[in-house]
Amino acid sequence: MTSPLRTKPRDIAAGAQRVAARARPIASASEALDIADLLAEVAHRWLEPADPIRRRALDKLETFSRQMWADAIDAMFSPITRGSLRTFVETELADISLRPPRVIGHVLARNAPAPAVQSIFCGLLTGSGQIVKAPLYDRRFAGLLVDSIAAVSPRLRKRMRILCWLGSLEELNAALAVACDTIVAFGHGETMESWRRIIASANPACQLVAHGPRTSVEIVELAGETNRWTELAERIAFDVAMYEQQGCLSPQQVFLCCEEASDGHDVSRCRGFAAVLGDALEAKARRWRPPERSIWSLTAIRRAREAHRMGRIADPSHGPWLPDELCGPANRFDWTLLSTLGPSPQLGPGGRTVFLTRVASAAAAVEAIEPLAPFIQGVAVEARDATVAQILRDRLHIPYVCKPGELQRPPFGWRNDGVPPLRSLCEQSCKKTGPRFREPGGDELNSCRAGHFGPTGGGGPIGAPVAGSNRIGPGGSAAPPTPAGPGPAPAGFFGVLGVTPAKLM
C-alpha cells in the first residue's frame, strides 16, 4: 500500500489502468458464481483460528479490543458460505441485463469494518477492477482483507489496488472519480455531499452509490415472564457494544413496550429490565474492554448523564424514570443507560450509551419512529405480533429488520440503505442515471432507488408509504395511509448535544 502522504493523482490513475487491464466484467451469472466460490473460501479461512491472516488481524488491529475483533470477524464472515453466496448471486442477477463497470472505487469508513467486506466482495463478483481507498487511520483491516483474497486467488488480487489518502484532499478524490465508472462511498453526510460535487465536476458519467448517515433502534416487549430477560438483555448488549456503537446498525435507543407504560407512575417492570440490561452491558465491558475515550467523548457522555440527573431532580414525578444507580458505573464511562421523557426517537453521544423509552405497545414504538424512517438503517424487534416486523419492512421501508442480537450479524447481501449491493453495480439502468443517489430525507432520487432498487425490491422512495398499506394506530388499529415523504424530525432526536442528521455516522 502506498504511504498516505505519498499518494499522488498519477498513482490513482496508474492503479486504475492496471486493474482495468486485468478486469473481466461478467457477462452471465455463472461467471459470478465461479468468483463466489473463491470468496466463500476466503471467508472460511477468516473463521479458522489458526489462519495466519486472522492471527495477524488479532495481533495488529487496534481499533477495538482483541476479543471484540475476534467476535467481529466471526460475525462478519460466518454468514458468507458457498451456498449463501450462490443464492445471493442468483437472486441479485436474475432477469437483468448485465453491464458491470470496468473500474469500481470503494471509499471505506473507519467506524465499522463489515461494510468494507460486503462492498469489496460484491465489487469482485462483477469481475471489475477495484480501487480501494482505505480509511487513513484504520487501513490495516482493508490491507489484510486484500491479502486474504490474494492467498486464495492471485487472479482476483490482480484486479485490486489499495490506496490511502486524507479524505479532504479533493485533488485525489477527483482523480478517483475520473478513474472509476462507479464509486461506492461510506461516510458522513458532508462526505457524501463532497463526493457528489466532485463527481459532478470531474466525471459526471461516474455513478455514485452513497451510503450516508443512519442509525438503528430496538423494540422489545416486556410482557410475560421475567426469566427470559437475561438472555434478551445479553443480545441487546451485543448489538450496542459491538464496534463501540459506531456503525449504522448500532442501536441508540431501546423502546420498552409494557402495558403499565400508560400509567406514568408505575415503572417497576421497566426499571427491572434496565437493571438486567445494565448487568449485561457490564459483562460486555469485561469481555470487550472499552477503548480509552477522548476528552470530547467523555464530556458528551457526562453531559448526557448530568442532563438526565437534573431532569429527575427538577420533576421527580414526570421526569426521567431511571434512577441514577441504574444509569451506569459512577466513576466510569464504560456504558450508560438513560431514560427519556417521551416517545420521540433519541440520538446519544455514543460510547455504549442507550436511551430507554417506555411505550404502551410495539405499535406505539412504530408510530414514534415513523417520522425518522428515512434515517433508520435497522430495527431489532422482540414482539409477539409478527405484523410489527412486516410493517417496518413494507410500510416504513426499514432496510434491515431482525431480532435483538442480530443487528450486528446481517446476512451477506443485506440492502444497506435499501440498495441491492450487487444488482446496483450491474444493472444497465443505473449506468444511465449519473451520480444522483440521495441521502436519507433528501430530494434527489436515483431510478435505482425508485424502481427495483427500493428497500423491498420495488415501490417508492424510502420513507414513502406503500399504496394501499395501513398505518398502525393506537392499540394496533388501522389508520388511513399518510402522504408520501418523510415528515419533520422530532426535536428530541437531534436535540441531544446539538447533534444534526449529518453527524449520525
Q: What is the DSSP string of 262-322?
A: GSTT--HHHHHHHHHHHHHHHHHHHHSPPP---HHHHHHHHHHHHHHHHHHHH-TTTS--S
Domains of the chain: 215-412+469-503 (3.40.309.10)
Is residue 444 exposed (0-12), middle (13-18) or buried (19+ Cβ within 10 Å)?
Answer: exposed
Q: What pLDDT score does 341 carry?
A: 72
Alpha-carbon distance of 394 to 160, in angstroms, equals 38
**What does DSSP assign to residue 10?**
H
pLDDT in tens, 91-116: 999 988 899 999 999 999 988 899 99
Alpha-carbon distance of 413 to 119, in angstroms, equals 9
Reported as type and span, the H/E element at residue 106 is: strand 103-107
Reported as type and span, the H/E element at residue 184 is: strand 182-186
pLDDT in tens, 27-63: 999 999 999 999 999 999 999 999 999 999 999 998 8
Per-residue pLDDT band for 430 (boundaries 50, 70, 90) equals very low
Q: How confident is the prediction for the chain on average, in pLDDT? A: 84
Q: Pick the closest to residue 48 from 142, 140, 132, 151 (CA basis).
A: 151
Is the pLDDT at 457 greater than 80? The verdict is: no
φ, ψ (nearest 5 deg) of residue 142: -60, -40
Q: Pick the closest to residue 431 from 205, 122, 209, 210 (CA basis).
A: 205
Q: What pLDDT score does 482 carry?
A: 35
Sign of CA dihedral 430, 434, 439, 441: negative
pLDDT in tens, 462-481: 222 232 333 333 333 333 33
Inter-helix orientation angle 189-202/170-179, to 10°: 60
